[in-house]
Homo-oligomer: A and B are copies of this chain.
Amino acid sequence: MIKVGIIGASGYTGSELLRILAQHPEAEVTAITSRTYEGRKLEEVYGGFTGWNGPVFNGSDSIDAVAGCDVVFLAMPHGVAINLVPSLLEKGQKVIDLGADFRFRDAQIYESWYKLQHTQRELTKNAVYGLPEIYRKQIRQAMLVGNPGCYPTSIILAIYPLLKAGLADPDRIIIDSKSGVSGAGRKADLAYNFPELFGNFKAYGLAGHRHTPEIEQELSLAAGKAVKATFSPHLLPVARGILSTIYLNLTKEITTEEVEEILTRSYQGEPFVKIIKEPRLPELKWVAGTNCCHIGVRVDRRTNQLIVVSVIDNMVKGAAGQAIQNMNLMCDLPETMGLQQWPVYP
């Protein structure tokens, strides 16, 4: 039984880790921390956990709180994990950081987009970007994983194989993403007050969202050259899920069916990626509560565009589920363990 600790467990990512780990046959949560809820039971914060018999919230975010844990998940604001990771690694604990601190190969890019100084540049070299569909081998060996952002997961999975296949012009990639509100986290903020968002919809963070360099980092590796992407996030009036619609300039003539074929072959054997074939297109709720990513494509011959649509649950494949998938790999467990639920629908 793997002992698991979660630092910063009272947010939505924390509670989602707990939801999934509660079903995991080989993991046991032995420590959860939250400065806000020190000494409180989980069910006092999340009524749905009434009857859960795990630990109460430890009020300290220090590494002592997770002493004895084999794996530690960090669900902290950007910049905070940097200082905790070295000590955790020294104690031989495996670390999965759900923030942005260890997602970048080039710490300078992190510093320029996140306006923070990166005090552990050396560590970034050993950190693995936790997208198993691309870095499975490295994750198995890793002690430190930078768990991908929610938007980047939905986007990279959708078009990585297509850029790799040279199908599309890497110079003009348009990404129009729509996310449920849980992506903004659990916080008291007038902008997320229920009546403001009910029946509403809007774009935000245009031409500057911090997930952009993360997306470009991975897509550039796929394309074999620097990729520039226009990334436009929108706020959907739902709790969960991300749908990304991606527009690629085709570099050669190809049919919808042939593109589907390329994706199908690329993801052959992948447990969590599924290609939705014409005439169907992926829907947000088809992956709600699951670790799956669904991808559909259409070639628009009139305009020579390839339109790619992907859906994930931002809380699962976009955060906690992927983190547990990474934990499974790092701990030599079956990759899908604890992650095989079907969506709650309708």
Chain A contacts to B: CB under 8 angstroms: 12, 15, 18-19, 22-23, 44, 46-52, 172, 174, 176, 178, 180-182, 186-190, 192-204, 206-207, 228-230, 232, 234, 236-241, 243, 245, 247, 249, 274, 276, 280-290, 294, 298-303, 305, 307, 309, 340-346
Contacts and interface: CB of A to CB of B under 8 A. Distances in A.
B280 A47 contact: yes
Across chains A and B, which 7 residue pairs bring their CB atoms closest together, nearest first?
A: A195-B346, A207-B300, A48-B343, A176-B176, A48-B286, A289-B344, A201-B284
A48 B239 contact: no
Nearest to A201: B284
Copies of the protein in its oligomer: 4
Given A192-B193, A203-B281, 5 more contacts: A18-B342, A19-B345, A23-B341, A48-B342, A187-B190
A339 to B, nearest CB: 11
Contacts of A229: 303
Contacts of A341: 23, 341
Contact of A193 (B18, B187, B309): B187
A290 to B, nearest CB: 8
A195 B302 contact: no
A40 to B, nearest CB: 13
Contacts of A48: 285-288, 290, 342-343, 345
A238 B195 CA distance: 7
Nearest to A44: B280
Contacts of A239: 194-195, 198-199, 346
A342 B19 CA distance: 6
B193 A283 contact: no
Contact of A346 (B240, B249, B343): B240
A241 B202 CA distance: 11
Contacts of A237: 194, 198, 236-238
Contact of A198 (B174, B176, B290, B346): B346
Contacts of A182: 195, 346
B307 A201 contact: no
Which interface residue of A194, A236, A301 has the most chain B CB atoms within 10 A? A194
Contacts of A290: 48
Contacts of A201: 178, 236, 238, 241, 243, 283-284
Given A207-B298, A309-B203, A344-B344, A198 B172 contact: no
